[in-house]
């Protein structure tokens, strides 16, 4: 099994074989939390306009996402795991959620055009994702760290890729070193400094918790939509 590391949109666009699209802050910390709260279905869309159009067809849909980190007018929630956690499971249980984000979701959509299989990656999902990869034994795995807004390398995604690879016996990993680089980097400090109401200081705490879930999230392209499927194994 060949393990490749890649970053940003160009990495997702070249992700052959099995692709793990990693977005720690915050998309793919939100997604497994939503599934743990019992959502029935989760749809990925490229643009806010697609999500809002779907909402017009079905008002029961729950819209979650951001543009450049900021909430979208007309959406029910931003891209904040702490906001979702605080709201509780009753709002989401049995619902269909539509998710749009600027990095992780865009990476998944790009990878679905080239990869044989696409998984969602984060610290919360890392060990389960690695176990799934070991069970499937693909010839090639691409660990793609999506970064901030598809423009800047983000240490939380890069380190998460190494953490997954560590579970695959393909990389060294030091969690204290990872935390030091992540916590004091600007991508984390914009949450911790409290300058914006939309970047909740609780979010990084939730995002950096490793191995919370025992399921895997796989993206699938269907005739009229892209969905995320929860796989228990």
Residues 110 and 144 sit within 8 Å (Cβ to Cβ): no
Is the per-residue pLDDT at 195 higher than 80?
no
pLDDT at 182: 98
Helix ranges (DSSP H) in 112-222: 126-136, 155-167, 175-183, 186-192, 202-207
Give per-residue pLDDT as tens, 144-161. 999 999 989 999 999 999
Q: What is the CATH number of the domain that holds 139?
A: 3.90.1560.10
What number is the average pLDDT over the span 94-110? Answer: 98
Q: Classify residue 135 by its DSSP letter.
A: H
Q: How confident is the model at residue 196 (pLDDT cuts 50, 70, 90)?
A: confident
Q: How far apart are CA 129 and CA 211, in angstroms?
A: 9
How many domains is the chain built from? 1
pLDDT at 193: 87
Of 151, 133, 81, 142, residue with least CA distance to 114: 142
- The pLDDT score that the predictor gives to residue 233 is 75
Instruction: Please compute the mean of the pLDDT values over residues 36-62 and round it to a whole number.
Output: 98
> What is the extent of the structural domain holding 120?
2-232
Strands (DSSP E) contained in the chain are 2-7, 18-22, 41-44, 62-65, 96-100, 117-121, 140-145, 215-222, 225-232
* Cα distance between residue 57 and residue 35, in whole Å: 23
């Amino acid at each position: 099994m060949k393990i490749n590391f890649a970053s940003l949109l160009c990495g997702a666009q070249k992700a052959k074989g099995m692709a793990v699209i990693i977005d720690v802050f915050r998309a793919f910390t939100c997604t497994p939390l939503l599934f743990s709260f019992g959502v029935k279905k989760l749809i990925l869309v490229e643009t806010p306009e697609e999500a809002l159009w779907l909402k017009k067809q079905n008002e029961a849909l729950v819209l979650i996402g951001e543009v450049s980190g900021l909430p979208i007018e007309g959406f029910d929630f931003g891209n904040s795991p702490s906001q979702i956690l605080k709201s509780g499971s009753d709002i989401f249980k049995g619902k269909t959620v539509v998710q749009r984000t600027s990095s992780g979701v865009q990476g998944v959509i790009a990878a679905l055009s080239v990869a044989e299989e696409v998984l969602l990656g984060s610290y919360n999902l890392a060990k389960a994702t690695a176990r799934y990869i070991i069970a499937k034994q693909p010839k090639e795995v691409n660990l793609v760290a999506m970064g901030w807004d598809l423009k800047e390398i983000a240490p939380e995604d890069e380190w998460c890729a190494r953490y997954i690879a560590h579970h695959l016996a393909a990389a060294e990993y030091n969690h204290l070193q990872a935390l030091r680089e992540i916590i004091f980097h600007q991508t984390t400090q914009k949450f911790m400094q409290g300058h914006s109401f939309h970047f909740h200081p609780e979010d990084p705490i939730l995002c950096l918790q490793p191995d919370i879930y025992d399921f895997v999230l796989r993206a699938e392209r269907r005739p009229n939509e892209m969905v995320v499927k929860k796989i228990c194994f």
